[in-house]
Structure 1
């Protein structure tokens, strides 16, 4: 009985670590509420789909340079956020990488928009899937 109770407690504590999984429409609605222009929503949702499958709690596998990518938009810790390991980062978004793994995606959106403004859509390798005609997002509203 103690083992079962321990397992259930451990599962309950671990559940938030998995993060939230959006749908295309719930993400589009959240992005709009966070100030993303409506004409960009299809692109942002496409990037999130291909980067993280709309999941907030994703840390990508280690890249060739030893860095990792975090959150719904898979933001790289070498340039944009400070990893908890204390490893060097330029930390251009001036935030902890852990802040990109929460259900509140406001930090992820702010940082991703900064990346897009500085580097354009090609900052995401998945842009190749999102460059062209995308399904309309209008049915989400």
Structure 2
């Protein structure tokens, strides 16, 4: 095969410049599309009192059981919405409440008893996590969560949020038309 050697002083031809422009005209839109398509999952690491406030004020959690919920979340996910744990049976637990892909959600598509996509539990939108966690708690109680069973079952181990987070001052947020839905 014969290759034509170029002199270093040779300037690019008009044809070369046209080819470069054409390539750039294709590369730039493709890169923009790739950037737009890639969803960045945002996560949040809560502080104890911050999550307490959010659960009571925005999601209307009963103050009677809020210490159980906070203790559970502290021991299951360390207050981190992006936490994913792989279990020995190859199922995974997702998000703040460590909801299992075995029964309550499906990976890659909606499914399970909560009819949710598991990956949706690993972002900073905790509304769907809360809906599913409340359903689990109603069906199975707090004992569903091993972290609660091990560390929070004894009421003496529950955090005193009344003192630590000034729980008495918290109340569900209201609008002129009633409660805000979280």
Tell me the TM-score range normalised by the shorter chain.
0.7 to 0.9
- Is structure 2 residue 145 aligned with structure 1 residue 124? yes
- How big is the shift at 1:90? 6.0
Q: Structure 2: where are the runs of 5+ without partners? A: 1-37, 167-182
Report the Cα distance in structure 1 between the residues aligned to 2:151 and 2:139, rounded to whole angstroms: 20
2:104 paired residue number = 80
- Is structure 2 residue 75 aligned with structure 1 residue 45? no
- Is structure 2 residue 78 aligned with structure 1 residue 57? no
Report the Cα distance in structure 2 between the residues aligned to 1:65 and 1:135, rounded to whole angstroms: 32
1:10 paired residue number = none
Q: How many residues align?
A: 125
Q: 1:47 to 1:100 in 2, by over 3 A?
A: same
Greater radius of gyration (CA): 2
- How big is the shift at 1:18? 6.2
- How big is the shift at 1:27? 0.8
Query: Is the contact made by 2:42 and 2:124 (CA closer than 8 Å) also made in structure 1?
Result: no
Q: Structure 1: where are the runs of 5+ without partners? A: 1-12
Query: Is the contact made by 2:111 and 2:117 (CA closer than 8 Å) also made in structure 1?
Result: no
Query: Is the contact made by 1:78 and 1:90 (CA closer than 8 Å) also made in structure 2?
Result: no
> RMSD across aligned C-alpha pairs, in angstroms?
2.1
2:14 paired residue number = none
